[in-house]
Amino acid sequence: MAHAEYRQLFIDESVEHLQNIQDCLFELEKDTANRSVVEEIFRSAHTLKGMAATMEFTDVANLTHTMENVLDLIRSDELTLTVDTIDVMFQSADALEEMIQGIASGGDGTKDVTALVERLGKITNGEQLEEEKPGGTVKTAYNEFEWTVIEQSLEDGFHAYEIEVYIDEQAMLKSVRAFMVLQNLESFGDVIKSVPTTEELEAEAFENRFVLTFISRENKDMLQQTIRQVSEIQEVNISDVQTNMNKATEQGTTKEEVPRSADALPSKIETSKTVRINVQRLDTLMNLFEELIINRSRMEGIAARIDDAELTSSIERLTRNAQQLQDVILSMRMMSVEHVFNRFPSMVRKLSKELGKSVDLQMSGTSTELDRSIIDEIGDPLVHLLRNSIDHGIEHPETRREQGKREQGRYNCEHFIEETVSILKFQTMVRALTEKK
């Protein structure tokens, strides 16, 4: 298993490479002839594959290895880049993101990527891709605690199911349908995990699909009938949760299938000029700085009483240095809102395809910086606002044509970002004044 001391480094590096892959895919979608972008995606996929193989995250390594094969053929002009290929690449990037998030939550990053690997393999062989249909085996990333609950339940004679539910896309109140499904299942077992979370389901911060990990003594048919009692349920797929041992046996794979010697972590050509700092350490540094200010004030009082010119001059220099130190500490806590808004293009792309709308997302002002504690809080609310804006604010292409508008709706985040940042800065100022009182 991966060494704990390298785990966080792997997660941080993987997040950066995944973001780079997604950004480049958007560029490639605009200009399919841009081979430099293909090269950039290839390098990120290759690096991620090497790191995953070294850390023994087999599913991540297998998927990136197959992506790498497709990209290699495209960059050598042996394969023509198509819309279907780009779609599968986006799906692969989403799957990788889910696995990395699972690793960050304490899991082992396992996910059934068989379907994606097969589709990428067909692209490599020049075969026609069939249209994807909902259904199939579902795999969710679990942390160590969740695996313990699942394995203990199996030992006690319970079943552990992954229940994938699709709500009709035309349903007006998806959150209500999701709540009714949960309510119907309540008397037959326990939900130990929901993707998205139950809070997100309640806030309707999901598309039309959610997955429940359910512990029960009932059989699949019984649970199917129970869920089907809820109206506007389009599809229900129930599969057994597989332990790592069963999963490896079923797929006939072992960790040795991914060559490790050839995929060692590449050495960096350029020396990194940035370091990652835990926010708690920054808080500790700020607390120490506040103690320094208190002691400086005491020294100013002592200097005033004894009327020592040399001591007064030294304290004045200390005051200037303290101010500079404060500026540095505050700047270290700042983070660009780009880290939040980076997820918007991918979300808008998927949402526009599902809703049958054509959306041109334009963003500016993403270099604005806010305190990290605020950045952590604003992501999900802003995503929800953006989803509602596109869902209810932009018409379908045919409707737009009838109204004399161009087919592609334009969503400009400039004022949206500026107003949000202004509100957040005001709230931060009020909070600081309140704390001082």
Catalytic residue flag (residue 392): no
pLDDT greater than 70 at residue 109? yes
User: What pLDDT shows up at residue 270?
Assistant: 38
388 included as an active-site residue: yes
Residue 236 has pLDDT above 80, yes or no: yes
Percent share of the chain, pLDDT over 70: 79
Is it the case that residue 169 has pLDDT exceeding 60? Answer: yes
- Say if residue 434's pLDDT is above 60: no
DSSP 409: E
Give 144-254's CATH code, choosing from 3.40.50.360, 3.40.50.10860, 3.30.70.1110, 3.40.50.300.
3.30.70.1110
Please say if the pLDDT value at position 112 is more than 90: no
Whether residue 435 is predicted with pLDDT greater than 80 in this model: the reply is: no
Q: Per the residue annotation, which of 40, 62, 65, 68 is the catalytic one?
A: 68
**Residue 178 pLDDT more than 50?**
yes
CATH superfamily of 337-436: Histidine kinase-like ATPase, C-terminal domain (3.30.565.10)
Which value, in Å, is the radius of gyration of the alpha carbons in the chain? Answer: 26
- Is 131 catalytic? The answer is no
- What is 4-124's CATH superfamily? HPT domain (1.20.120.160)
The answer, yes or no, to whether residue 212 has pLDDT greater than 90, is yes
Does 198 score more than 70 pLDDT? yes
Q: Which of 220, 150, 232 minimizes the C-alpha distance to 191?
A: 150
Angle of helix 58-75 versus helix 35-54 axis, rounded to 10: 160
**What band does 304 get if pLDDT is binned at 50, 70 and 90?**
confident
**In this predicted structure, what is the pLDDT of residue 337?**
75
- Give the chain's mean pLDDT: 78
Q: How confident is the model at residue 139 (pLDDT cuts 50, 70, 90)?
A: low
Strand partners, 213: 162, 193
Catalytic residue among 388, 398, 407, 412: 388
Quick count: other Cβ atoms within 10 Å of Cβ 127? 11
Confidence bin at 393 (pLDDT 50/70/90): confident
Which pLDDT score, from 0 to 100, does residue 416 have? 54
- What pLDDT, on a 0 to 100 scale, did the predictor assign at position 185? 92
What are the angstrom distances between the C-alpha of 260 and each of 50, 56, 68, 69, 254?
A: 8, 9, 16, 17, 13
* pTM for this prediction: 0.49
